[in-house]
């Protein structure tokens, strides 16, 4: 068993080498790839999950389906989906299969929160809107959707952090991203590449934590003040925390 | 971007083949065994660490915030990064995988156990004190049994996500069934190998989950009676 000597010192040296930033396949390249892939996956996930979740919530049906989808994706190993999808898509190893695979993992939190967001709307508000003569579509757009925004934001944050974390695994299928730095480090071997491995880990973890903090702030901003206080008193019930780990 | 599905049935590379399963039963069984043993050990260690932590958070309220926050931060760190932090110190062995898995399972269990313990009605606690239960007696006779549903939920979530997570252990060469998935990917996309391993992964998660439901039924007979 090989163990690296002073991996942290090695990592600092590695990060301080400007070439490791600007080289082709250096940190900046990989960061760009990582963000592009993640953004595309989250966007695709939103496009699919939000309309479906809002609509199911509006109808008040399909709660079982939402739970089923959440549970099923929890059990599917990320690695399996990442390797299977490139084979399914004739395009082979472009970005598409990686983006689709990541989007699959973005769907459960987005879907569950959209559904819960509409379901938790006060029935009295719904009745009042009906009484004012709003049609089903108007009710969804003007009453339920605005009241569901805090939940949509919470789902977005969970999904985005999840996707950014999972995108690191794209390196296993040569999909690029910051995970590639870690994989290259392991390729060199732990004794020599220990610093690069730790440096890659710091970048991946830092990006995920940064996303969590920034999107947490966004979530607070879009949550109207009265709802904010109410949710804290209830111990912040979050609809979809049961996401798989990447 | 082309979303065209490849319908061409490639006779040389089917999605599933009994031939593959038969010829490689030894390798597959070894991978399943490693996968199950890693999962089992990780969840066991996680429970052993999580229960005392949760009780601490329950008894001493000011500790609850920090305990949940720290495990929350660990949970946010992507698995690949976590393994990358551990591997240079512990080498590329099973230990590295195990430590990573335990850290992740920890949060899921702690959060649910704390929630379960906090759900114990205060009247019940007061009644127990009135009956002369001490802190420990109350914990083992009253609080923990009443928190069992929360504990079971936590362990089930932790088990299912650990099964999926073991595959990332490929990074250090101990990924159980993930090892087969990755080998299939490198082996010119050997579909049968990838698919068999992926299906076994999901099956293992389902089987372990059902087992835990069964155990939960056995240890909390009252909840089944209430449901009926």
Is position A244 within any domain?
Answer: no
**So what's the pLDDT on residue B227?**
53
Share of chain A above pLDDT 70, in %: 87
> CA neighbours within 13 Å on the CB side: how many for B65?
3
Is position A194 within any domain?
Answer: yes
Q: How far is A14 from chain B (nearest CA, A)?
A: 15
Read off the CATH number of the domain in which B90 is found. 1.10.3720.10
Is position B2 within any domain?
Answer: no
Q: Residue B157 and residue A242: Cβ atoms within 8 Å?
A: yes
Q: Residue B84 and residue A198: Cβ atoms within 8 Å?
A: yes
Please, what sign has the CA dihedral across residues A8, A13, A16, A22? negative
Is position A242 within any domain?
Answer: no
Most confident of A5-14, A119-128, A180-189: A119-128
Q: Does B186 touch chain A (CB under 8 A)?
A: no
Q: Which tens digits make up the pLDDT trace of B15-30? A: 778 888 888 888 899 9
Is position B123 within any domain?
Answer: yes
Mean pLDDT score, B55-79: 88
**So what's the pLDDT on residue B1?**
42
Q: Which of B5, B57, B73, B87 to mutate to test the interface with A (most CBs of A within 10 A)?
A: B87
Q: Residue B167 and residue A77: Cβ atoms within 8 Å?
A: yes
Is position B9 within any domain?
Answer: no
Q: How far is A246 from chain B (nearest CA, A)?
A: 6
Q: Which of B91, B118, B164 to mutate to test the interface with A (most CBs of A within 10 A)?
A: B164
Q: Does B190 touch chain A (CB under 8 A)?
A: no
- Give the three-class secondary structure for A223: coil
A209-212, long-range: CB within 8 Å, 24+ apart, which pairs? A209/B73, A209/B76, A209/B77, A211/A157, A211/A160, A211/A161, A211/A164, A212/A157, A212/A161, A212/B76
Given a cut of 80, whether residue B4 has pLDDT beyond it is no
Given a cut of 60, whether residue A238 has pLDDT beyond it is no
Is position A243 within any domain?
Answer: no
Mean pLDDT score, A165-173: 86
**Residue ranges making up the domain that contains B120:** 27-227
Share of chain B above pLDDT 90, in %: 32
**Residue ranges making up the domain that contains A213:** 7-233
What is the number of H-type helices and E-type strands within chain A? 12, 0
Is position A214 within any domain?
Answer: yes
**So what's the pLDDT on residue A66?**
86
Give the burial string for B108-121 (b: 16+ CB within 10 Å, else e). Answer: bbbbbbbbbbbebe
Number of domains chain A is built from: 1
Number of domains chain B is built from: 1
**So what's the pLDDT on residue A93?**
58
Q: What is the pTM of this model?
A: 0.82
Given a cut of 60, whether residue B111 has pLDDT beyond it is yes
Higher-pLDDT residue of A79, B32: B32
Mean pLDDT, chain B, integer? 86
Is position A73 within any domain?
Answer: yes
N-term to C-term CA, chain B: 53
Is position A175 within any domain?
Answer: yes
Cross-chain CB nearest to B104 (options A182, A203, A245): A245
Q: Which of residues 33-72 of B touch A (CB under 8 A)?
A: none
Is position B89 within any domain?
Answer: yes
Instruction: Find out whether A111 and A65 touch, Cβ atoms under 8 Å.
Output: no
């Amino acid at each position: 068993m090989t163990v690296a000597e002073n991996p942290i010192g090695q990592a600092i040296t590695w990060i301080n080498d400007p070439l490791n930033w600007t080289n082709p396949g250096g940190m900046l390249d990989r960061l760009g790839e990582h963000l592009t892939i993640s953004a595309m996956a989250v966007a695709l996930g939103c496009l699919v999950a939000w309309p479906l979740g809002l609509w199911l919530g509006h109808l008040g049906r399909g709660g079982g389906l939402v739970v089923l989808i959440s549970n099923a994706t929890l059990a599917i190993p990320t690695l399996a989906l990442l390797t299977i999808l490139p084979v399914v898509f004739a395009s082979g190893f472009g970005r598409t299969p990686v983006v689709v695979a990541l989007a699959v993992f973005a769907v459960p939190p987005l879907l569950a929160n959209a559904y819960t967001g509409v379901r938790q709307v006060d029935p009295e508000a719904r009745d009042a809107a009906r009484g004012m003569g709003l049609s089903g579509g108007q009710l969804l757009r003007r009453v339920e959707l605005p009241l569901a925004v805090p939940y949509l934001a919470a789902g977005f944050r969970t999904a985005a952090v999840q996707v950014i974390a999972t995108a690191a695994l794209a390196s296993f299928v040569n999909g690029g991203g910051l995970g590639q730095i870690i994989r290259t480090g392991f390729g060199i071997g732990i004794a020599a590449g220990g610093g690069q491995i730790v440096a890659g880990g710091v970048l991946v973890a830092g990006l995920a934590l940064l996303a969590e903090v920034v999107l947490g702030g966004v979530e607070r901003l879009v949550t109207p003040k009265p709802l904010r206080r109410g949710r804290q008193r209830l111990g912040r019930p979050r609809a979809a925390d049961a996401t798989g780990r990447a | 971007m082309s979303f065209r599905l490849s319908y061409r049935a490639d006779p040389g590379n089917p999605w599933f083949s009994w031939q593959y399963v038969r010829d490689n039963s030894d390798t597959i069984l070894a991978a399943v065994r490693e996968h199950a043993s890693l999962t089992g050990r990780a969840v066991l260690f996680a429970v052993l660490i999580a229960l005392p932590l949760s009780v601490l958070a329950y008894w001493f309220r000011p500790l609850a915030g920090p305990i949940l926050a720290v495990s929350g931060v660990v949970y946010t760190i992507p698995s690949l990064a976590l393994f990358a932090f551990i591997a240079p110190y512990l080498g590329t062995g099973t230990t590295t995988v195990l430590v990573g898995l335990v850290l992740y399972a920890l949060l899921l269990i702690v959060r649910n156990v704390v929630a379960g313990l906090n759900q114990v009605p205060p009247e019940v606690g007061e009644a127990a004190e009135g009956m002369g239960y001490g802190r420990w007696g109350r914990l083992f006779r009253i609080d923990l049994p009443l928190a069992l549903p929360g504990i079971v939920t936590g362990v089930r979530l932790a088990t299912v996500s650990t099964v999926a997570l073991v595959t990332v252990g490929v990074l250090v060469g101990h990924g159980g069934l993930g090892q087969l998935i990755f080998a299939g990917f490198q082996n010119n996309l050997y579909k049968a190998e990838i698919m068999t391993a992926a299906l076994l992964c999901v099956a293992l998660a389902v089987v372990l989950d059902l087992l835990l439901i069964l155990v939960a039924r056995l240890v909390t007979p009252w909840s089944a009676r209430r449901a009926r």
